[in-house]
Structure 1
Amino acid sequence: MEINEFNEIKAKTLRKNLEAVVFDMDGLIFNTEWIIKYSWDIVGKEMGFENFGDNIFNTLGMNHNQRKEYFREKYGEEFEFDKFTERYREVSSLYMEKNGIPIKKGLKNILEYLKNNKIKMAVATSSSRAFAMDKIKKVGIEKYFDIIICGDMVTKSKPDPQIYIKACDELKVNYNNCIAFEDSPKGIIAADLAGMNPIMIPDLIKNAPSEVEEILLAKFESLDEAIDFIENKII
């Protein structure tokens, strides 16, 4: 189904009274998932694996421990996950130091729009707090967020709703009156289970499984398009 057709159908089921917007991070705030895939390919080749970056399609939304379990199940208990993680972060950090941290199209616009309309904002990412805050501070957007919830601040990871429930609870808002921006199926499921309204902005995964797309409030190519949707349909 085309995105415009999808949104025309889903717009009929909108919930009103928007109180807050919660953002995923990699692939949603930052255009970095492809950099991670690139670094996995490089480090995987160093470790003797071809096309290692393709694993990212199976691990989007996972926290550190989930990824560790995934790789050891696939490549064996002898897989040196910690060594791999340290090395790929080194490769990706070097790339971003040289080229900058890319942000997603429309990010600054929607952050300003929500701020001007006094809508609370949060980040809910599976990344560690040290890793997340480093990138958020480097691009100067921490001032927009009331809270930032990271993977090492919860005990369960997406698609479990814990991180979104924690974000809404700390914002002191009603789950039903919140939007969650996500790029991965696991994140969409987590937001829906928390009682939120998930909106998909596709990144590496262009289309979620049909049963996941059914629970979306809307789906857009960019965050800029989401501004028009919020302006015309919610606020």
Structure 2
Amino acid sequence: MTNKKAIIFDMDGVIIDSEKYWKQAEYEVFTSLGVRVTDEYSKITKSMTTAEVTQFWHDKYPWKNKDAAVVEQMVISRVIELIETENCQINGVKSFIEKLKTRKYKIGLATNSPSRIIPVVLKKLGILHLFDSILSAEFEKKGKPDPAVYYRAAEKLFTKPEDCIVIEDSYTGMLAAKNAGMTVVAFTNGNKEIDCKIADYKIDSFENNEIELLKMN
């Protein structure tokens, strides 16, 4: 991959272990509004943007007296509370990004998560200064698996999509990056259930010198 110029990271599940916080926040907020949150439907909403998740549950169990946008912000605020108070960093991610910077890669972030959460995460992990571009799919017409946020990320990094490497942990994220014409590295964090079939490469950890993968042709 020596010809690549930029590395773009997903956020949830890649630089922060936050899936459990989203699940908790959504359960707390939506059940308080009379929604029956089930594992079956939660699997469907897992890869959606927060706005899409909120609309999904409202369609299933319409609530009154609270606008969907207000409910969405309630979920986001709860996730922020949990991130700020819990230990949720992915091991080795900061030093991994620092090594990429020393090799002159441009560093981007492209996430389905709302923009409000991004600075909270990056400041907590002490890595905000390491990113050249930060994007949330909430400002695109569609979130991942639509490739829009990755096209935008390449544009912001002044890099062609084919010169970008994307690090993702979800199939929908990998699909978005693939559809944008980018090279995909699946990050599993030891989770054997992650579907990596469409990824070009796979790493299980940001430790143990797995950065050497990025020197491959």
Q: Given the two structures, how large is their TM-score scaled by the length of structure 2?
A: 0.84
In the alignment, which residue of structure 2 is the partner of 1:177?
A: 163
**Conserved? CA contact 1:45–1:52, under 8 Å:** no
**Counterparts in 2 of 1:169 and 1:90: CA distance versus 1, 3 Å:** closer
Q: CA–CA distance in 1 between the matches of 2:98 and 2:110?
A: 19
**Counterparts in 2 of 1:103 and 1:215: CA distance versus 1, 3 Å:** same
- Which ranges in structure 2 are unaligned for 5 or more consecutive residues? none
Matches within 5 A, 1:90-101: 90-100=77-87
In the alignment, which residue of structure 1 is the partner of 2:198?
A: 215
Look up the SS of the partner of 1:224 in the other structure. Answer: coil
Range with greater deviation from structure 2 (20-29 or 122-131): 122-131
In the alignment, which residue of structure 2 is the partner of 1:58?
A: 44
Structure with more helix by fraction: 1
Q: CA–CA distance in 2 between the matches of 1:32 and 1:180?
A: 19
The residue identity in structure 2 corresponding to 1:188 is: M
Matches within 5 A, 1:99-118: 99-100=86-87, 102-118=88-104
In the alignment, which residue of structure 1 is the partner of 2:193?
A: 206
Matches within 5 A, 1:1-235: 16-49=2-35, 52=38, 55-76=41-62, 81-82=68-69, 84-100=71-87, 102-202=88-188, 206-208=193-195, 213-224=196-207, 226-231=210-215, 233-234=216-217
Q: CA–CA distance in 2 between the matches of 1:113 and 1:122?
A: 14
**Counterparts in 2 of 1:53 and 1:134: CA distance versus 1, 3 Å:** farther
Look up the SS of the partner of 1:25 in the other structure. Answer: coil
CA shift at 1:61, angstroms?
A: 3.6
Look up the SS of the partner of 1:219 in the other structure. Answer: strand
Q: CA–CA distance in 2 between the matches of 1:163 and 1:215?
A: 19
Q: CA–CA distance in 2 between the matches of 1:63 and 1:170?
A: 21
**Counterparts in 2 of 1:192 and 1:121: CA distance versus 1, 3 Å:** same
Q: CA–CA distance in 2 between the matches of 1:44 and 1:67?
A: 10
Q: CA–CA distance in 1 between the matches of 2:211 and 2:42?
A: 29
CA shift at 1:136, angstroms?
A: 1.5
The residue identity in structure 2 corresponding to 1:123 is: L
CA shift at 1:51, angstroms?
A: 5.2
Range with greater deviation from structure 2 (59-68 or 179-188): 59-68
Look up the SS of the partner of 2:212 in the other structure. Answer: helix
Look up the SS of the partner of 2:165 in the other structure. Answer: strand
Q: Over residues 160-197 of structure 1, what are the superposed CA-to-partner deviations in whole Å (9 max), with x where a residue is unaligned?
A: 11110111112122222211011111111100000001
Range with greater deviation from structure 2 (32-41 or 187-196): 32-41
Q: CA–CA distance in 1 between the matches of 2:104 and 2:147?
A: 25
CA shift at 1:28, angstroms?
A: 1.0
CA shift at 1:34, angstroms?
A: 1.2
Q: Over residues 58-110 of structure 1, what are the superposed CA-to-partner deviations in whole Å (9 max), with x where a residue is unaligned?
A: 2234223322332233334769544543443343333333335x211220121
Q: CA–CA distance in 2 between the matches of 1:135 and 1:194?
A: 26
The residue identity in structure 1 corresponding to 2:75 is: Y
**Conserved? CA contact 1:71–1:79, under 8 Å:** no
**Conserved? CA contact 1:60–1:184, under 8 Å:** no
Q: May I ask how many residue pairs the two structures share in their alignment?
A: 214
**Conserved? CA contact 1:125–1:151, under 8 Å:** yes
**Counterparts in 2 of 1:68 and 1:91: CA distance versus 1, 3 Å:** closer
